[in-house]
Chains A and B, each alone.
Chain A
Amino acid sequence: MTSETPPSIDDPAAIAATIREATERTEMALRERTVPIAVEPPTVFRP
């Protein structure tokens, strides 16, 4: 953090709001993209 930084930019509430908004956008971007149910995640499961 630098002294030149306006305090509002790094205000905890502002950071929390930024992260909350980003999380909402992320969830929306992921969920609106439909993927056929047969598509499985890559996995390291090796019984």
Chain B
Amino acid sequence: MRERALAEARRADRTRASARTKLHGVPYGAKDLVAAKGAPTTWGAPPYKDQQFDEDATVITKLGRAGAVLAAKLAMVELAGGGGYRYPSASLQGPGRNPWSLDRWSGGSSSGSGSAVAAGLVPWAIGSETSGSIGTPAAFCGVTGIRPTYGLISRHGAMALSWTLDKLGPMARTAEDCGIALQAMAGPDPADATVSGKRFTPLAARAAATAVRHVRLGFAEEDLDHASPEAKRALERGIAELRKLLPTAVRAVLPTDLPYGPMVGTVFGAESATIFGELIDSGRVDQLIDRRQVAGLKAAMDIRARDYLQAQRLRTVLIERFRELFRDVDVLLAPARVSTAPPIDAPLDNRPPGAGSMAAATPGAPGPAKPPGNTALIPAGNLAGLPAIFFPCGFGTDGLPVGLQLVGPPFSEALLVAIVAAYQRESDHHRKRPKT
């Protein structure tokens, strides 16, 4: 890895005069599920601890062409949490420690990407999201992350967890930096049939200012009723700050008649059990660290075809519902997470409703008694393949970061970046740095 990074850095130095992108010579890290020649790609899991690939993932190739320097492979939750894990320790590299407090979790499954960016070890990193794996570490670590529209970025050479849900995306200090990285990562790839072929270009300054002025923001006040006591006040302030910038705000709520948790659990469960079928059948799955994850992967082998197809058909219904919702609003706003980072040794399935991620997702768990608002925006947005941007909006009473998310229609990343870039020009939450 070191030799590869130095070689790329020397090449960037030699070609500096002809640099074509802002990424030229800029180091970055990649979640350890993205293949990079000359470096281990462990998928964060003991059964794959010695795995190496002899070619780069498409996204690494694209970034290399842009002059970026791959400086690190970053720790992650084993198999990106397929099966549902119970503890932050569910990783070959150990639990992701949060730079804001080392006894707190950095979130998963892109744990190392969140930690490394927040700690300033790299200016930006590649993460991935199946359902919450960019949003959770972005929120817990106080960094900005983009979950792109499904199909905007090639996944060729990245570990598959769920063919119909997986997305790669950038995590950085600012929305503008995320946009610069996304521009280099997006685009066609003949090696990935699910890629849309669309490219990403950030809006020019004047177009961005006009777009932000006219945004119709959708929001459900009751989301804050689900916030933890530590996070609530900072979330309220952050939402108030954003609403000053986006004065046209209307109430908008996800449909309440769709079982988002069971849908996403069934889809990624059935797909991940198929993808890791050989691992499970061979018994090597028992080498995984987290017992809940082992049991979850084994149980997912028995998901029935009728349930998988029902979950997929409900996705069709959900996509249409989102289409209707986006006739009245341009973006949906919700807390990225309703609580701050949990202790590093605490079980993850005792968290408040809406705070959960892939971690120990308990499909079909009873819903909250309070009106749910948009607390299911992470599974709903992932099921519909929609883009999201996660960004810091302050600190909880425990001194840990809290963040918000904005979700837009397919391929609305340029608008999402413009809104958060405008917010970050007016606020300084993203400039705060951990002391640890």
Could you tell me if A10 and B86 are in contact, using CB atoms closer than 8 angstroms? yes
In the complex, what distance in Å separates the CA atom of A24 from the CA atom of B257? 19
Nearest-Cβ distance from residue A13 to partner chain B, whole angstroms: 10
In the complex, what distance in Å separates the CA atom of A46 from the CA atom of B195? 13
Could you tell me if B314 and A1 are in contact, using CB atoms closer than 8 angstroms? no
Q: Is B313 an interface residue (CB 8 A)?
A: yes
Could you tell me if A19 and B365 are in contact, using CB atoms closer than 8 angstroms? no
Tell me how many residues of A have a C-beta within 8 Å of chain B.
30
In the complex, what distance in Å separates the CA atom of A7 from the CA atom of B292? 13
A 22-47 to B, binary, CB cutoff 8 A, 1 in contact else 0: 11111111110101000111101010
Q: Is B262 an interface residue (CB 8 A)?
A: yes
- Set of chain A residues within 8 Å of B222, measured between Cβ atoms: none
Could you tell me if B89 and A26 are in contact, using CB atoms closer than 8 angstroms? no
Closest to B306 in A: A31
Nearest-Cβ distance from residue B96 to partner chain A, whole angstroms: 15
Q: Is B240 an interface residue (CB 8 A)?
A: no
Could you tell me if B345 and A4 are in contact, using CB atoms closer than 8 angstroms? yes
Pick from A15, A26, A30, A33: contact of B257, CB under 8 Å: A33
244-267 of chain B: CB within 8 A of chain A: 257-259, 261-263, 265-266
Could you tell me if B265 and A26 are in contact, using CB atoms closer than 8 angstroms? yes
A22, A29, A33, most chain B CB atoms within 10 A: A29
B 34-78 to A, binary, CB cutoff 8 A, 1 in contact else 0: 000000000000000000000000000000000000000000000
Could you tell me if B364 and A33 are in contact, using CB atoms closer than 8 angstroms? no
B 285-308 to A, binary, CB cutoff 8 A, 1 in contact else 0: 000011110011001001010010
Closest to A27 in B: B307
Could you tell me if B295 and A35 are in contact, using CB atoms closer than 8 angstroms? no
Pick from A5, A16, A18, A39: contact of B317, CB under 8 Å: A39
In the complex, what distance in Å separates the CA atom of A18 from the CA atom of B311? 21
Q: A10-B86, A15-B292, A27-B307 are in contact. Are A42 and B364 (CB under 8 A)?
A: no
Could you tell me if B266 and A44 are in contact, using CB atoms closer than 8 angstroms? no
Chain A contact residues, CB within 8 Å of chain B: 1-2, 4-5, 9-10, 12, 15-16, 18-20, 22-31, 33, 35, 39-42, 44, 46
**Minimum-distance CB pairs A-B, first 8:** A25-B364, A41-B312, A26-B364, A29-B259, A26-B363, A26-B262, A2-B345, A29-B262
For this complex, 7 residue pairs linking A to B, each with C-beta atoms less than 8 Å apart, are A25-B364, A26-B265, A30-B311, A39-B313, A41-B315, A42-B316, A44-B163
